Amino acid sequence: MGADGTPLAEVTLARWADQIAEIVRAQPEPVVLVGHSRGGIVVSETAERVPDNILTSVYLAAFLLSDGMTLRGSENSPAPSYVVMGENGTSTIAEGDVGKVFYNGASSEWVARAAKRVGREPMQVFLTPVQVSAERFGRVPRAYIECIRDRAVPVAFQRQMHAALPCDPVLTLDTDHSPFYSAPEDLIDLLITIAERRRAADNSVSV
């Protein structure tokens, strides 16, 4: 994805999670691992791999799925109209829908920047069941950040997911699907809040 030149046929959910787990293991202390949108399933599988290396998992308008669920199946509906199917099991986003669906709160400059970076992605990841357990993924603290003007992952669906797999805290941004473009300072403040709460909770337990 992005500047990564890995052939799409070789891209899998397991490969993504293994890649992130390797980075997490190399850090000097447990990390706050943030997953946005589809990145939520990568965060979950990474937590399954390295639970002791993650201070907390943060789901930012992200897919938070139980064991055995697939991203495509979780939505329980046909592929959205803005998804354009391509060759060899790939898809992309219709050019005219990039800003309307994913960046409807961002400036025109940021929308243009994002649109230039849209490329094909492997649909196989959408069909791969998440593999997590209560013993590993389940022991990593979770937080959720809702985006209430989200047109890609509607807030009602976000709330359905974090009700099924409870998170603490659940915080809310009055933004579109991509607050790292539309409200970066507000997003940073929430991430700092989550990290500080988790460190405080850990310190109180250890005393």
- Residue 95 covered by a domain: no
pLDDT in tens, 19-57: 999 999 999 999 999 999 999 999 999 999 999 999 999
176: helix, coil or strand? Answer: coil
Domain tally, the chain: 1
Q: Measured on CA atoms in the order 78, 80, 86, 90, is the torsion positive or negative?
A: negative
- Residue 42 covered by a domain: yes
Please state, in angstroms and rounded to a whole number, the distance separating the CA atoms of residues 190 and 171. 8
Per the DSSP assignment, residues forming a β-bridge with 204 are none
- Output the average pLDDT for the chain: 92
Here the tokens at position 182 are 């539309």
Which residue range(s) make up the domain with 26?
8-75+126-202
Indicate the pLDDT class of residue 78, thresholds 50, 70 and 90.
low
Please state, in angstroms and rounded to a whole number, the distance separating the CA atoms of residues 3 and 136. 32
pLDDT in tens, 130-170: 999 999 999 999 999 999 999 999 999 999 999 999 999 99
- Residue 195 covered by a domain: yes
Burial class (CB in 10 A: 0-12, 13-18, 19+), 32: middle
User: What CATH number does residue 143 fall under?
Assistant: 3.40.50.1820
Indicate the pLDDT class of residue 100, thresholds 50, 70 and 90.
very high
- Residue 172 covered by a domain: yes
Question: Looking at residues 113-132, what average pLDDT do you find?
Answer: 90
Question: Looking at residues 115-144, what average pLDDT do you find?
Answer: 93
- Residue 148 covered by a domain: yes
Please state, in angstroms and rounded to a whole number, the distance separating the CA atoms of residues 58 and 55. 10
- Residue 194 covered by a domain: yes
Question: Considering only CA atoms, which of 32, 64, 73 is closest in space to residue 45?
Answer: 64
